[in-house]
Structure 1
Amino acid sequence: IVLVQTYHPGNIGAIARAMKTMGLKKLVLVDPREYPAEEASNRAAGALDVLNNATVVQTLPEALTDCTQVFATSARKRNYTRPQVTAEEAAGWVKRNPKEKIAIVFGRERMGLSNEQLGLCQQLLYIPGNPEYDVLNIGSAVQIVSYELFKQLGNHRDKGEIGEITQDSIKNTIAYASQQELERFYQHLESTLSATGFLVKNHPGEAMQRLQQMFARAQPNAKELRMLRGILGSVDKLIDE
């Protein structure tokens, strides 16, 4: 679970507690306004291990460096070019793709995620609700998403097991490219397309944004991305000649 620029420290504590009840342990805080904080510790009753082990970074790209699939969260469907899934559908995707390093990103309490931050994510996760009043606080949103993950992946208490999500409960599939690998590919793509004259040098603008959206929808795996980098490398050699 990744929290971006959380304003109220109490929300961080409540989220740590919500995560632990559903077997989640890894919490990443991106540029929180106040952390560590006494209020966060007070609200994390029984989940101080999750809270105290949280990783703090300054930017979202830092938080997503080794992630291969990133879900951005939203209170509702949006005009967004990536796949849009409910919390339940996202949990199903996670179960089907156990090899992936997955992050679920929650934005600021009032403003959510910026367009630039959304651009780092492959899918948009939304929580359907009452269309006449779809206001959901961040702690409740994390609790719902954590519960959907637990339903798909956790060992339920009514089966006599400890409720903790583990990779042992799911099957193996393909491995997607990491966020860091994608960023390097985009940099290589922009450089090559600029050299060919397709992009105006130093002003890639909308064309690169649309290309990134296209590749985000395609979700290439690591092997496919290496092939694409190889193609770009061949083009680079022709340009140098």
Structure 2
Amino acid sequence: MLDNILIVMVNTTHSGNIGAAARAMKNMGLSRLVLVDPKAEINDEAIQRSSRAEDILHNAVITETLEQAIADCGLVVGTSARSRNIPWPLMNPRQCAAKTAQAAQQGSQIALVFGRESSGLTNEELHLCHAHVHIPTDENFSSLNVSQAVQVMCYEMRLASEVDKQSADEAQAWGVDWDHELASHAELNGMLQHMEQTMVDIGFLDPNTPKQTMARLRRLYQRAGVDKMEINIMRGMFSAMQRQQASLKTADNAEQDGDSH
């Protein structure tokens, strides 16, 4: 399970936090660190704060965007301390660990995403996540350092990796063993883009005033936990709809040409 989990840190501004996060990961047996457009370097301070977890720092993957970081992941969970305009599935760390355990059993890659020290993740970044996780803290002193948040989540991942299957099944997870692997973020994103274009083609969606239609549809499909076969079915359906729409337009144009003569 732990080998399938990516710790993704977005726009981290302090080298010490990167090092401390690496230390937290190694304490709990996680090793895959991804840095999205980091503002801080992996320098001597980061190595010192890692406390002999420099192997994680040296093997860290750096990407320009969050989309690139999570492209191969079937489950993406973003840490959030704030409520959002559009409600999103929300879990505590233990519930998140249960869902992570099940996704890992299915062979999926999992990303736990942590935001900026000062402002966390943006709404757009949180919309890329299947669910959000909130770490419960004292309401009078709720601010957590990002490396502390990484430590809490890695601890819960460690606990979930050690429980037996019966205990995992009793936890709050998607209680189905899929016959196909969960779709990756890139596959789901491609399907949603295909859906959006199809809705525009058939006149259902006005691209000039889309409102929050696609955000809500993204939430629907991410909440459902779509697998690879389901993605293929949906995209086949959209392609058929587009071919039918193109055929109708061709027939309509031919009829108009006939009338003009």
TM-score using structure 2 length: 0.82
**Separation of aligned partners in 2, 1:80 and 1:37:** 39
Q: After the TM superposition, which residues 67-78 of structure 1 pair with which residues of structure 2 at under 5 Å, given as runs?
A: 67-75=73-81
**Separation of aligned partners in 2, 1:79 and 1:130:** 24
Aligned: 1:124 with 2:132? yes
**Separation of aligned partners in 1, 2:207 and 2:103:** 38
Runs (4+) of structure 1 exceeding 6 A deviation are none
2:193 corresponding residue in structure 1: 187
**Separation of aligned partners in 2, 1:92 and 1:207:** 30
**Separation of aligned partners in 2, 1:94 and 1:8:** 28
SS at the partner of 2:47?
helix
Q: Which has the higher helix share?
A: 2
The answer (yes or no) to whether the contact 1:67–1:178 under 8 Å persists in 2 is yes
Q: After the TM superposition, which residues 54-203 of structure 1 pair with which residues of structure 2 at under 5 Å, given as runs?
A: 54-75=60-81, 80-98=86-104, 99-154=107-162, 173-174=177-178, 175-201=181-207, 203=209
SS at the partner of 2:56?
helix
The answer (yes or no) to whether the contact 2:18–2:42 under 8 Å persists in 1 is no
The answer (yes or no) to whether the contact 2:8–2:114 under 8 Å persists in 1 is yes
Compared CA separation, residues 128 and 186, structure 1 to 2 (3 A): same
Compared CA separation, residues 78 and 202, structure 1 to 2 (3 A): closer
TM-aligned CA deviation for residue 69 of structure 1: 0.6
TM-aligned CA deviation for residue 76 of structure 1: 5.7
1:236 corresponding residue in structure 2: 242
TM-aligned CA deviation for residue 140 of structure 1: 0.8
SS at the partner of 2:212?
helix
SS at the partner of 1:27?
strand
TM-aligned CA deviation for residue 206 of structure 1: 2.0
**Separation of aligned partners in 1, 2:87 and 2:46:** 36
Larger Rg, first or second structure (1 or 2):
2
SS at the partner of 1:232?
helix
2:254 corresponding residue in structure 1: none
1:206 corresponding residue in structure 2: 212
Whichever residue aligns with residue 115 of structure 1, its letter is N
Identity of aligned residues (%): 40
Flag structure 1 segments of 5+ consecutive residues without an equivalent. Answer: 156-171
TM-aligned CA deviation for residue 203 of structure 1: 4.8
TM-aligned CA deviation for residue 75 of structure 1: 3.2
Q: State the number of aligned residues.
A: 225
**Separation of aligned partners in 1, 2:154 and 2:83:** 19
TM-aligned CA deviation for residue 81 of structure 1: 2.6
Compared CA separation, residues 202 and 37, structure 1 to 2 (3 A): farther
Flag structure 2 segments of 5+ consecutive residues without an equivalent. Answer: 1-6, 164-175, 248-261
2:47 corresponding residue in structure 1: 41
1:41-75 Cα offsets, whole Å, 9 max, x none, are: 11111100011100001100000110111000023
Say what the alpha-carbon RMSD is for the aligned residues.
Answer: 1.7
SS at the partner of 2:140?
coil
TM-score using structure 1 length: 0.88
**Separation of aligned partners in 1, 2:160 and 2:231:** 29
Compared CA separation, residues 232 and 202, structure 1 to 2 (3 A): same
Aligned: 1:51 with 2:57? yes
